[in-house]
Amino acid sequence: MNRLSILVPVVCLLLSAQGIYSGEPVQMDLLNVMQQELDRSVSNLENAAEFPLYYLQYAVTDQRKLNIAVKNGGLEAPNSSVRRYLDVDLRLGSVELDNTHEIRGGNWRDNYSARRIVDFPLDADEDAIRAALWNETEYKFRKGLERYTKVLANRQVKVEEEDLSNDFSAAEPQQYSEDFEYAVVDTAHWQSILKKVGTYFSGYPFVIKSSASFAVTEETTFMVNSEGSRLKHSNRYIRFILNINGMAEDGMELSRYETWAAASMNNLPEEAEIMATAERLVEELESLIGAPVVNPYIGPAILRNRASGVFFHEIFGHRLEGHRQKSESEGQTFTKMLGEEILPVIINVYDDPTITQFKGVDLRGAYKFDDEGVRSRRITVVEKGVLKNFLTTRSPIENFPESNGHARRQFGRATVARMGNTIVQSDTAVSFDRLREMLIEEIKRQEKPYGLIFNDISGGFTMTGRRGPQAFKVKPLLVTRVYADGSPDEVVRGVDIVGTPLTSFSKILMTADDDAVFNGTCGAESGMVPVSAISPSILVSEIEVEKVRKGQEKPPILPHPGHDKK
């Protein structure tokens, strides 16, 4: 069989896919049309019902996507799209109390509605654009009236809330417009790398599943509101991801992955770096498959820089989001700790969406304006261990009457406070080698047989509500056991990190000077948003691990067909 001839159609298809990204700027002033319809809607609706409309915002997300991937050695057809989506946000009542106010004591659907995806015209068709805006405004207005009625009743029958802040705050109207050049993608180049790396993974019988993907997403947001803001700003998110899976004899599924994120094609890795990483991942997977399982353990550990970034994001960052300080259903871990020491004195934490790079790495959490039209800004969250700030939106919280530009969402959802680029910075740091020595010293001091180094964490979840315990769980992917007696380090498997936030952060002893970036996508109430976390490696005197939930499947009965000798 002539394999080459079979490949040709796919290659050609990928070559043609780059046409989508040679797009030209929009020929009509979309913001103008949106503004006209917004003005008309405000005039028609502000006093059309028993409750006044006092704020209206239109946002259109122009999204262009291209994805190419290889799975188990075979190429997927490229998937590309150009779509526009509409979000209409409106407020009825007054800034003191409006339709967005939390409804207490009901079911979760009272406060979190399903994602609403509204297709928006691609053509320069003013009639169609205004009709789409009108239709969605009417819908949201009706839903707003319905909800505001519920809010008023809820307030009458429930006890007084702890945080009596208003529902909306003033913000300076913003005017901003930027041109954006769509990326030119050499799809043939990336397709060839994907194929090469996919073929490489297929060469190993213990790699049960493998994938590699290249994705470009470009988003331009057009936004107007009834306060006079007019914004047009863009972001590009490029990702190259390698992922391999294997299975230990006891049925435990194991994986290794690596991600590169960039905002420009120039900042993506070269083929040699990708192939070297692929080799490393295969080696790591092989050692994980043969690794011993760790029993539940409490003892000293190091979280490597990127793993520490994920750890801070999950365990700490989410608890600083503004709406969690106000909502009566939230655990409010830090709400009343403003001005108190919540981290070791050497630690500072910032959230800074205004920076676009760190040590040459593009940051996914960068943005110019948030989804309420507020300009992004650097916020000092923790200074020398003391809590200074929360991440806020235009929904004020006690002691924070204004937004600091952290209202974010995935289109189709309501905004809440979210992180952007979360930066953990230490005033006192040592080299990583010294940090490792300090780990061994701590192991000896505690008379433990070993300590752990968490090299890589895939993510995790944290419970912030009052219904459950204020606990977290994060999922390490690559863990090394370090012995105090000088025995060689050993890769181990089968543990999750668990704990509660207040105790976990009090155990930080020292940090390294190896700050690095974790770029990811964070999911919460307002959907999936791109984020970054920057952190040095940290040494903790105590961390708790528990057994991971393990798959019960046996490894495949027959050998990998590419490696079957029979």
Partner 1 sequence: MKTITRIFLKYLILATLIPAGFCQESNDPVFDAMKNELDRSINRLKIEDMHTPYFLSYRIQDNETATIQARYSSIVNINTNRKRFLYIDLRVGSPDLDNSNFVGSWGDVFNMRKPVVDENDYQSIRHQLWLNTDKAYKKALENLARKEAYLKSHPGKEDIPDFAAVESSVHLDKPASLKTDLPNWESKVRTAAGALKEASALQDWKVTCNVIAANKRYLNSEGSKHLKAVLIHQFVISATVQADDGQRLTGFLKYTTVNEDIPATDDIMLSDIDTMVKELEETASSPAIDEYSGPVLFTDFAAAQFISQLFVKQLSPARGLVTAEDWMQQYLPDGKLARRLNRRVMPEFVTVTDEPGKESYNEINLAGYKIVDDEGVKSETITLVKDGWLVDLPMSRLPCKKIRKSNGHALTVQNQMTIPTVTNLFIKPDKPQPMKKMVKRLQKLAKEFGNEYGLLVKQLDDPSVSNPYMWSDVSQDMPELMTAPLIMYKVYANDGRMELVRGLIPDEVSVRSLRDIVAMGKDEKVFNLMQPTGYSEFGYPIAIITPSILVEEMGFKSVEMRDPLPLSANPMFEGK
Neighbours of 181 (CB within 10 A): 12
Among 32, 39, 74, 502, binds partner 1 (CB under 8 A): 74
Q: How many residues form the binding site for partner 1 (CB under 8 A)?
A: 77
Shortest gap between Cβ of 114 and partner 1 (angstroms)? 12
Residue 96 or 553 with smaller CB distance to partner 1 = 553
Residue 207 or 482 with smaller CB distance to partner 1 = 207
- Which residues, including other chains, have CB under 8 Å from residue 451's CB and lie 6 or more apart? 299, 300, 301, 302, 439, 440, 442, 443, 481, 482, 484
554 binds partner 1 (CB under 8 A): yes
Please give the residues from 178 up to 197 whose contact with partner 1 meets the rule CB under 8 A: none
Q: Are 187 and 18 in contact (CB under 8 A)?
A: yes
Q: Are 262 and 238 in contact (CB under 8 A)?
A: yes
Site string for partner 1, 83-112 (x = CB under 8 A): xx----------------------------
Among 54, 71, 354, 388, binds partner 1 (CB under 8 A): 71
Residue 149 or 357 with smaller CB distance to partner 1 = 149
Among 13, 103, 188, 265, binds partner 1 (CB under 8 A): 13
Residue 248 or 382 with smaller CB distance to partner 1 = 248
Site string for partner 1, 205-244 (x = CB under 8 A): ---xx-----------------------------------
How is residue 73 written in tokens? Answer: 């050695």
Please give the residues from 130 up to 159 whose contact with partner 1 meets the rule CB under 8 A: 130-135, 138-139, 141-143
Contact window for partner 1 (CB under 8 A) among 23-31, 291-299, 370-378, 495-503: 23-31
Residue 281 or 387 with smaller CB distance to partner 1 = 281
12 binds partner 1 (CB under 8 A): yes
Residue 15 or 275 with smaller CB distance to partner 1 = 15
Among 123, 160, 179, 447, binds partner 1 (CB under 8 A): 123
| DSSP string of 33-86, one letter each residue | HHHHHHHHHHHHHTTSSSS-EEEEEEEEEEEEEEEEEEETTEEPPPEEEEEEEE
Q: Are 158 and 98 in contact (CB under 8 A)?
A: no
Residue 40: half-sphere exposure toward Cβ, Cα within 13 Å: 13
303 binds partner 1 (CB under 8 A): no
Among 67, 82, 104, 329, binds partner 1 (CB under 8 A): 82
Site string for partner 1, 470-509 (x = CB under 8 A): ----------------------------------------
Contact window for partner 1 (CB under 8 A) among 225-233, 356-364, 383-391, 557-565: 557-565
Residue 222 or 390 with smaller CB distance to partner 1 = 222
Q: How far apart are CA 211 and CA 71, in angstroms?
A: 4
Residues in the chain: 566
Among 120, 168, 260, 390, binds partner 1 (CB under 8 A): 120
Q: How far apart are CA 110 and CA 73, in angstroms?
A: 46
Q: Quick one: DSSP state of residue 344?
A: -
According to DSSP, the β-strands at 347-351 and 379-383 are antiparallel
Shortest gap between Cβ of 548 and partner 1 (angstroms)? 21
CA quadruple 391, 394, 397, 399: dihedral positive or negative?
Answer: positive
Shortest gap between Cβ of 182 and partner 1 (angstroms)? 10
117 binds partner 1 (CB under 8 A): no
557 binds partner 1 (CB under 8 A): yes
113 binds partner 1 (CB under 8 A): no
Task: For 403-458, give the secondary structure using H, E and C.
Answer: CCCCEECCCCCCCEECCCEEEEEECCEECHHHHHHHHHHHHHHCCCCEEEEEEEEE
Q: How far apart are CA 387 and CA 532, in angstroms?
A: 21
Q: Are 256 and 476 in contact (CB under 8 A)?
A: no
Shortest gap between Cβ of 203 and partner 1 (angstroms)? 10
Q: How far apart are CA 259 and CA 241, in angstroms?
A: 4
Please give the residues from 311 up to 330 whose contact with partner 1 meets the rule CB under 8 A: none
How is residue 518 written in tokens? Answer: 């974790």
Q: Quick one: DSSP state of residue 204?
A: -
Among 127, 273, 283, 340, binds partner 1 (CB under 8 A): 127
Among 32, 81, 113, 295, binds partner 1 (CB under 8 A): 81
According to DSSP, the β-strands at 538-547 and 379-383 are unpaired
According to DSSP, the β-strands at 53-71 and 209-225 are antiparallel
How is residue 61 written in tokens? Answer: 């997300």
Per residue in 28-41, is it b (16+ CB within 10 Å) or e — as a string?
A: eebbebbbebbeeb
Site string for partner 1, 30-69 (x = CB under 8 A): x------x--xx--xx--xx--------------------
Among 149, 166, 192, 202, binds partner 1 (CB under 8 A): 202
Residue 132 or 387 with smaller CB distance to partner 1 = 132
Residue 243 or 329 with smaller CB distance to partner 1 = 243
How is residue 254 written in tokens? Answer: 């194991």
Shortest gap between Cβ of 206 and partner 1 (angstroms)? 13
550 binds partner 1 (CB under 8 A): no
1 binds partner 1 (CB under 8 A): yes
Using DSSP, state whether 495 is helix, strand or coil: strand
Please give the residues from 354 up to 413 whose contact with partner 1 meets the rule CB under 8 A: none
124 binds partner 1 (CB under 8 A): yes
428 binds partner 1 (CB under 8 A): no
Q: Are 395 and 168 in contact (CB under 8 A)?
A: yes
Among 38, 57, 121, 248, binds partner 1 (CB under 8 A): 121
